[in-house]
Each structure stands twice: as structure tokens, then as C-alpha cells.
Structure 1
Amino acid sequence: MTTSAQSRIALLCTRNALSGLLIFATLCMALLDTFDLANLTEPATLTAWAFVALEFGRLTSKQRLPIYLLLGAGVVFATWSWFAGVPLHPLDLLGEHLKLAMLLAAVNFIRLSTQLQSNTGNPGLGSFLTTLGGMHLLSSVANFSSMLLVGEQLKRKQTLSPLSSMILARGFSLAVLWSPFLSILPLTLEQVPGTQLYNILPFTLGLSLFGLAYTLLDARFRHERELDAYQGYPMTSGTLLLPLTLIVAILIVSALQPDLPTVGVVALMALLTPLLLLTLKQGPGEAAQRFGSHIVERLADTRGEISLFLSAGFLAAAVKACLSAGLFSLPFTYTSPGVAVFVLWTITILAHMGIHQFALVAIFAGMLADVTTAPTQMAIAYIVATSASMSGSLFSGVNFILQARFNCSGRGILRTNLPYTLVMLLAATVLIYMMHYLGIH
């Protein structure tokens, strides 16, 4: 190895370590602030944006483009409100999504205790179902790592069959509907006034089960020949124990202590559970060593999502400043099923045109925060739009992975998932109107 190559590796390791320490410091300070143990919002905001600045050059051009657009639009709205006499506090604008950055950093630690093991099983329907169910549960805590882990086991000749791509895309996107360890549910709880976890979950879980059932019928009627001989990757109970334990623990804590901030509870459990499992399996010394190594070697991998969320938060805060100053007004003064359905379809359509779904949710939620009179209906709209966009839009992270890592064609992805996207949107539309007629707002 040449001296220049060794220098580049040393520089990369140093940057990873500094970035990891910055975002871990953000995580710790934001946790203390979330539980009202210390007022650390401003220093946590500074370390979070220092992390973004340090890692920005390592983002791909596709990752940087939406961030440029979000920051540019945020500057325009912030400048407009400033000229109108609105007192602006830069750190308040920059820290709008600080707690979501905390959550993303914490969830990254779950990979420390994620192990993928397969049961032996006969090819066919049973193999498809158990692989889809395992992928769905693993995705609920492992985020995009689940797609890489499971996809590597399913690929054949460097690509995925239609059934395998369906398992990855829909298994992941349907977990987005209900898992507090994925980004959109905490974002909704944080940004939509009046939302409660237990008010949302019955509906999103129902939609998730509906989506899984539709996927089974889709596989049976559109891919019958492949389904009959399908060899998947059924996962062991040991692999699925961690996601099940974490989800049950969150539900129990939320039921017993509903006043605790959900995003803080999720982040704390995502951080401590892997450390506890490693300590029980390998001893405190080895656990501490692996935990520390993860901070300085792998935590910087959160750069893309954290940069995007902080930038979307900056834009949302700037838009809210303009609204509070009366610089422009909304065409309605309260939310109705019609508004929720309009937002649902609009976010999905714009996401399919290339605008990031999380940024769209942040913008809409920020604009509508003060007029939201039906928070549960609006929450369903935001969450389902994000889920449908993840599986259906060629610009989503899910489909970027399918195309770049597993060589799936864009045309094949659209052909597989477009009918599913329309069915899920129609089901959510019907659900929102049913909620209205039942008096559930």
C-alpha cells in the first residue's frame, strides 16, 4: 500500500471518528433535553449541523440536490419573514428537527445486535410468506439495513426476481406505517399537534395488514408460476426476537407512561437495548469496545438521512415563520377529510415526480400545524403517503437500493408496484372518510 493511500485511509478514519463523536454528542444532549433533564437544545443543534457540514462532501450528488433545494427555499422564506419584521433566532430555525436527528442516530445502534439467520423451508407459498413477514418485522427496527441484509440472501445472478423485489419494497414500506423506530411516525407525532401513538396505531396497523394481504393476492395472481417454486429466506425466531422485544417494550411504556415523549423513549431504547444484549452475550468489556467502535467507525453512516431531515426542518420552520407573520394564508381554516385526502395524494404524486417524501411531509405539517383540527386523519395521510412513496417512487431510498445495489430496472419496479400504490391510496382514502363519519378526528 502506498503512502498516499495510507494517508487517505487515516484521514477517512479520523473524519469518521470526529463525525461519529459529533452526532453521538448530539444524541446524548438531545436525549437529556427531550426528557427535560437539561436545557441543551442550542449546543445539540450546533453539534448536529457541525456533523452535517463535516459530512456534506461525502454525500452523493443525488443526496445533495434535495438538501440544496430545501436549504435554498428555507433561506428565501426566512429572509422574507425577516424583512417583514419577524424576529428570527437562527438556532431555532436550524433545530426544528433536532429530535429526529437524535432518533436516527440512536436507531443506527440497533445494527450492533442484528443477526440474520435462516430456517430451512420448502419452496413455495410458505417460503414467500415467512420471508415477507420476517423482512417486515426486521425492517421495523433495522431501517434500510434490513433491505441490504435480506436482499443479499435473495438475489440471484446479481439481481432480484419480481417476488423478491416485492418482498423488500413492500416489507419495508409497510413497516413504515406503524414502527416508531422508522422516521415518519415520530416525525408525525412531533409535528402534528394533538396526535397520540395509540390513536394512530390501530389504523396504520390495519392498513399494514391490508397491504400484506394484498401483496399475497398479488403474488398469487400475477406471479403464480414463480410463487410455486419460490425459494426465500425464512428467518429464525432469534432474528426476529429483537424487533418484537423493542416494539412490545415501546407499546408498554407508552401505555404506562403516556406523558413521556415517544421519540425520546424510542431513541433511548434503541440506544440501550443493543448495549444490554451485547453485555449479556459477550461481557461488559467487549460490549463497551464494540459500542465505542460503532461510534467512531459506523455512526457517520447516518449522514444522508440526518442532513435531509435537518434541512427539511429548517424549511418547515421558515415557512411557519412566514405563516405566523401573515405573509400568506391558507385557503382553509380547519382540516377535514377532503384536506387529508388532498394532502395524501399530493404528497404521493410529488414524491413520484422526484421531491423527497420526508421533505414534503415536513412542509405540509409545518404549514398546516395551526389549522389542524383532525390530527389523527392528517397523521394517517402523512404516514400512508410516505409509505406509498417509498415503495412506488423511483426516487425513494427503497427503490434507489433496488436499482443501484440489486440491478432492478425502473420499469420493472413501476410495473410491480404501481397497482399496489393505487390500492393503498384508495384504501387510505376510504379509511379517512370512514374515520370522519365515525367521529374520529
Structure 2
Amino acid sequence: MKDAVLTSRLFITSRENLSGMLIFATLVMALLDSFALAELTSAASLTAWGFVALEFSRLTHKQRLPIYLLLGAGTLFAAWAWWAGAHFSVMDLLSEHLKLAMLLAAVNFIRLSTRLHTASGQPGMRSFVTTLGGMHLLSSVANFSSMLLVGEQLKRDARLSALSSIILARGFSLAVLWSPFLSILPLVLEQVPGTSLHSIYPFTLGLALFGLFFTLLDARLRHGTELAHYEGYPLTRATLSLPMALIAAILTVSWLWPSLSTVAVVSLMALTTPLLLLCLRNGPTSALKQGASHILNRLADTRGEISLFLSAGFLAAAVKACLNAGLFSLPFTDTSPHVAVLVMWSITLLAHLGIHQFALVAIFAGMLADVTTSPTQMAIAYIMATSISMSGSLFSGVNFILQARFNCTGRGILRTNLPYSFMMLLAATALIYMMQLLGIH
């Protein structure tokens, strides 16, 4: 019996090691390809899908179900397009979201240099504000790890209070609006023609600030008694210096060299910065050992997101093949504020019904790419719908963590976040129509 258990553990470890090497090879080859140093799209796509195949059995049922649906629908659309004589290759389907797989693998390295340092503070409003702000900034680079790191410090008796769940859910989801290290902004930059980081930022940052302000007002009005005695987990500047430095570096590079791919720049910095910090702290030998250990033992943790994004890209590419073949047409030939608002509300509603918001954005953006005449408005719609769905939908990764790890109830999550979700949708709707009046498309 002991031999069987040992053999099983060795098999799991060796598979995890191979998976880590496959996705790291994907990351390196995709980076070289993105910077036009080598033509490696096909090779990187094959290693990426090899990683998905190797790790698929380790996904949970909830993770596998949308992937089955995406791949199944993509296969049907691809078969329809092929039958109608459309010209496309299998590699066109497999490589659609390769750069996003590269980004997700690269961002995973940031956890190597993420450390929490707490500051002392008095309970109450100030503690809530500083904890929310720290969580928001940490989330911008640490992804879902931030929820686990901060959530473990906020839970009491294995549960989170209403205010603590608000900090985790909204602190994270509002960072989605502006952080290039989270998935949706790079997806939009890649999928929506005519967009740029600097054209989107004034509006997404404004919406993030509005969301934070509304959260403070909401906490005071609906949770005033708890707020008066709230003990949070304020983070120090030492913890938040890495996120702020990385974001500043990305903005500087995109301003100085706008022709560079934002996704490629973000991926390169996410990979190299933690390793450089480890070199400075512990020396190059220790940094290389930690980096190698991370590749072999932790990099495969990206299996869920990478599998989902590649599957969504497969479907999006198949749908585009059908559109190019003229098999069906869209009900409009250009985009407008009405289209942007309709898409934003539709994605939010469908995500609340259980369809993953990233897959929805990939599908809508893929279908509308050739008719998008107001790219900034459409980008705001996609990003905002994703942010709202991540905090409000019971099927989002954010709320899965709240329910599974911190014992929050679905009813409690909905009661806490529905007013916020509705208000953010109204604010984004008003912003999109205001952009049209100002001539910003």
C-alpha cells in the first residue's frame, strides 16, 4: 500500500514538473516571437496545448465544464467553416490566445517576491480604508494570490465578515479595470483593433476611483456598526512598492515605445523583476534555485486560467472563420454607444447566469473585431463587464474563493454586491454616452 502511494506521488510530481517545463517553454518562445526575435508561434502553441492536455485531469469539474463547452462549440463552428470552404489552419485556432497564456505564466512568477508587511493602526474607518487600498494595489500584480494572502489575515473563526469580503471582492475586481498584469486589459488590447493603454486609462482609472468611493459610502451606510470597530490588515509601503513600481514602468515603456506589444512588455517585466529582486536579496545562485523550483513545482498552478483562455480563443477563432466565410452576419455594421452598452449589460447578465466572463469577452470581441468603429467605448464595455462580474457573479473565480476558502454564503455575496454592481453598470453606461458626446470613440 505504501509503495502504491509513493508511486502515485512520484507520478504526480513528475507530471507537475513536465507541465511546468512545458508552460515555461511556451512563455519563453512566445516572448521571443512577440519581440520578433524568432518565428515560434506554432511551436509555442503546441507546447501550450500540450500543457493543457497534461493538466486537464487535475482541473475541477467546475473548471472543466466551460472548457468542454468552449471546445465543443469551437469544433462545431470550425467544422461548419471548413465545410463551407473557409481558408484557415488548425494552428490559427490553437494560437488565438497564445499571448494571454504567455502573460498568465509570466505573472505567476510575481508571487516569488510578494511579501506582506502590516502596519499598526486603530480599528475603524481608517483601518478599513487602508486595508481596501492595500488590497487593491497588491491585487494589481499578485492576481488571485492577493485574495488568499490578505484573506487569511482578515478571517475570524474561519470566516470573513461582510466588510472583509467587500475588501477582497471589490479590491480585486476594481484592480481589473486598470492593471495590465491582470488578464482582461491585455485581452482587450489584443482583441479590439485601435485600442491603446493610454487611451483607455483615463476612463478605467476614473471608474476604479468611483468604485472605491462608492464602496466607502456603501460600507458607511450599510455596515456602519461593524465599520466603527473594524480591524483590518493595513499594508506597508514595502509591500506595495513592487506593484507601484511595475505599473509605473509599464506606463513609461508604453509611452516611450508605443509600437511594442503591451502584453509582451508586461510579460517580460513580470518574469524578470521578481528574479532580479531575488538576486538582490539572496544572490544569483539562490535566485536561480528558487526560480527553477517555481517552474517545476508551482508554475502548473496556472492550469485553470490558461486552459480557459486557450479554449475561449479556439472558439473565437472558429467563429471568426465562419464570419469571414459569410456563413452568418452581425445585426450591425459598426459600433456605437448603444452597442457598447448592450454588450456590457449582456456580458454581465450572462456571467451572472454562469458563463465565464473571460470567455464571453473573447467571443464578443472576436465577433465584433471587424465592425468595431468605436474601440475605446467597446474596450470600456468589455473591461467594466468583467470587473462587475468578478465581484458580483457567484460563478466567478473571486466568489469561488470566498465561498470555498472563507465560507461566505452565496446569498450573502449577492446581498452585499448587487447594489454595487447595479451602480457600477449605471456609471459605466453614463460614461460611455458621455464619451460619445465628447467625440471620444
TM-score (norm 1): 1.00
| Partners of 1:423 and 1:35 in 2: CA distance | 41
State, as a whole percentage, how many aligned pairs show the same letter: 75
Q: Is it true that 1:284 corresponds to 2:284 in the alignment?
A: yes
Which residue of structure 1 lines up, in the alignment, with residue 237 of structure 2? 237
Which residue of structure 2 lines up, in the alignment, with residue 409 of structure 1? 409
Which residue identity lines up with residue 405 of structure 1 in the other structure? R
Which residue of structure 1 lines up, in the alignment, with residue 9 of structure 2? 9
Which residue of structure 1 lines up, in the alignment, with residue 157 of structure 2? 157
Which residue of structure 1 lines up, in the alignment, with residue 328 of structure 2? 328
Q: For structure 1, which segment, 259-268 or 8-17, has the greater mean C-alpha deviation from structure 2 after superposition?
A: 8-17
Which residue of structure 1 lines up, in the alignment, with residue 82 of structure 2? 82
Map 1:3-42; keep pairs closer than 5 Å.
Answer: 3-42=3-42
| Partners of 2:15 and 2:244 in 1: CA distance | 35
Which residue of structure 2 lines up, in the alignment, with residue 128 of structure 1? 128
Map 1:214-293; keep pairs closer than 5 Å.
Answer: 214-293=214-293
| Partners of 1:171 and 1:355 in 2: CA distance | 22
Which residue of structure 1 lines up, in the alignment, with residue 428 of structure 2? 428
| Partners of 1:130 and 1:3 in 2: CA distance | 51
Which residue of structure 1 lines up, in the alignment, with residue 198 of structure 2? 198
C-alpha displacement of 1:57: 0.2
| Partners of 2:361 and 2:402 in 1: CA distance | 24
C-alpha displacement of 1:9: 1.6
Which residue identity lines up with residue 330 of structure 1 in the other structure? L
Which residue of structure 1 lines up, in the alignment, with residue 368 of structure 2? 368
Which residue of structure 2 lines up, in the alignment, with residue 71 of structure 1? 71
SS of the residue corresponding to residue 3 of structure 1 reads helix
Which residue identity lines up with residue 108 of structure 1 in the other structure? N
C-alpha displacement of 1:270: 0.0
Which residue of structure 1 lines up, in the alignment, with residue 145 of structure 2? 145
| Partners of 2:45 and 2:230 in 1: CA distance | 49
| Partners of 2:190 and 2:273 in 1: CA distance | 23
Which residue of structure 1 lines up, in the alignment, with residue 314 of structure 2? 314
| Partners of 2:171 and 2:88 in 1: CA distance | 42
Which residue identity lines up with residue 194 of structure 2 in the other structure? G
Q: Is it true that 1:98 corresponds to 2:88 in the alignment?
A: no
Which residue identity lines up with residue 362 of structure 2 in the other structure? A
SS of the residue corresponding to residue 178 of structure 1 reads coil
| Partners of 1:9 and 1:156 in 2: CA distance | 34
SS of the residue corresponding to residue 272 of structure 2 reads helix
Instruction: Tell me how many residue pairs correspond in the alignment.
Output: 441
| Partners of 1:13 and 1:130 in 2: CA distance | 40
C-alpha displacement of 1:7: 1.4
SS of the residue corresponding to residue 187 of structure 2 reads helix
RMSD: 0.6
C-alpha displacement of 1:88: 2.4
SS of the residue corresponding to residue 322 of structure 1 reads helix
Deviations 1:187-240 (A, max 9, x none): 000000000100001100000000000000000000000000000000111110
TM-score (norm 2): 1.00
Which residue of structure 1 lines up, in the alignment, with residue 343 of structure 2? 343
Which residue of structure 2 lines up, in the alignment, with residue 49 of structure 1? 49
5+ residue gaps in structure 1? Answer: none
| Partners of 1:376 and 1:67 in 2: CA distance | 29
Which residue of structure 1 lines up, in the alignment, with residue 357 of structure 2? 357
Which residue identity lines up with residue 145 of structure 2 in the other structure? S
Deviations 1:313-355 (A, max 9, x none): 0000000000011100001000000000000000000000000
SS of the residue corresponding to residue 407 of structure 2 reads coil
- Runs (4+) of structure 1 exceeding 6 A deviation are none
Which residue identity lines up with residue 61 of structure 2 in the other structure? S
5+ residue gaps in structure 2? Answer: none
C-alpha displacement of 1:30: 0.3
| Partners of 1:440 and 1:372 in 2: CA distance | 14
